[in-house]
């Protein structure tokens, strides 16, 4: 039984189709790396898989509430401390080991620091630590290593490996080599062909 199965997926950004005909499956313990030039629709594809926008065509099959999504914005509140930020998401997602997650991303010594006082890399690490407390089987990650240093990238790769070893799966859009044993899907061949269908659907798009 695969955690995620995508068939003939077509996604659109701002009403314009970006990629079409994308199919893949992710089983427990597998990771899939998405590649492709800027603007091909990696982020849009990930947002569609995460359920934030509906697909134009195709099917996405997975369990309800399976996705933990992490994108460019980390969802942190500057006025809350590191531990408070994590504890909030742990509560919303139904429990999770806050102290363990902070230790895994090397944030234990910063736990009382307000998130506003963190550096960009530290914020990112906090955003990634949230994945651990969310305890969801499928991680959907959009450029997770932005502003991370080499040591933190290594730590993050270890975290993903641990997640896969526990029967999770990960769908990652990234351009750097994480050293994971993962398949790579290049989206370039799936670029949507210009056609009347590829044009914006206009006002009614909001109500589609």
Residues that bind another protein (CB under 8 A): 47, 50-54, 65, 67-69, 71-77, 79-80, 84, 88-89, 91-94, 130, 206-207
Residue 80 or 153: which CB sits closer to another protein? 80
Residue 87 or 188: which CB sits closer to another protein? 87
Both structure tokens of 89 = 């998401």
> Cβ 189 to another protein, closest distance in Å?
25
Residue 94 or 179: which CB sits closer to another protein? 94
> Cβ 39 to another protein, closest distance in Å?
17
> Cβ 179 to another protein, closest distance in Å?
27
Helices (H), the chain: 42-49, 82-92, 98-104, 120-134, 150-165
Q: How far apart are CA 138 and CA 169, in angstroms?
A: 5
> Cβ 17 to another protein, closest distance in Å?
14
Q: Exposed e or buried b for every residue in 96-129, given b needs 16+ CB within 10 A?
A: bebeebbebbebeebbeebbeebeeebbbbbbbb
Q: Judge whether 155 and 180 are in contact, CB under 8 Å.
A: no
> Cβ 73 to another protein, closest distance in Å?
3
Q: How far apart are CA 173 and CA 115, in angstroms?
A: 25
Residue 33 or 67: which CB sits closer to another protein? 67
Residue 61 or 72: which CB sits closer to another protein? 72
DSSP category for residue 198: G
> Cβ 56 to another protein, closest distance in Å?
11
Rg value, the chain, Cα: 18
Residue 66 or 161: which CB sits closer to another protein? 66
Cα 4 from chain centre: 14
């Amino acid at each position: 039984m695969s955690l995620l199965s995508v068939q003939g997926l077509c996604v659109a950004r701002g009403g314009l189709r970006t990629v079409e005909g994308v199919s893949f499956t992710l089983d427990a313990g597998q990771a899939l790396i998405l590649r492709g030039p800027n603007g091909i629709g990696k982020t849009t594809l990930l947002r569609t898989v995460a359920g934030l926008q509906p697909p134009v065509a195709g099917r996405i099959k997975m369990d309800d509430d399976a996705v933990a999504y992490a994108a460019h914005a980390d969802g942190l509140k500057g006025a809350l401390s590191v531990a408070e930020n994590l504890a909030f998401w742990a509560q919303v997602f139904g429990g999770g080991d806050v102290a363990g997650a902070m230790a895994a991303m090397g944030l234990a010594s910063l736990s009382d620091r307000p998130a506003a006082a963190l550096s960009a890399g530290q914020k990112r690490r906090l955003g990634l630590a949230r994945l651990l407390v969310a305890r969801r089987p499928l991680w959907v990650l959009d450029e997770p290593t932005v502003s991370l240093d080499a040591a933190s990238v290594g730590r993050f790769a270890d975290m993903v490996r641990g997640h896969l070893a526990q029967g999770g799966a990960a769908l990652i859009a990234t351009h750097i080599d994480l050293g994971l044993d993962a398949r790579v899907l290049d989206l370039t061949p799936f670029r949507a062909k210009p056609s009347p269908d590829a044009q914006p659907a206009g006002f009614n798009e909001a109500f589609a």
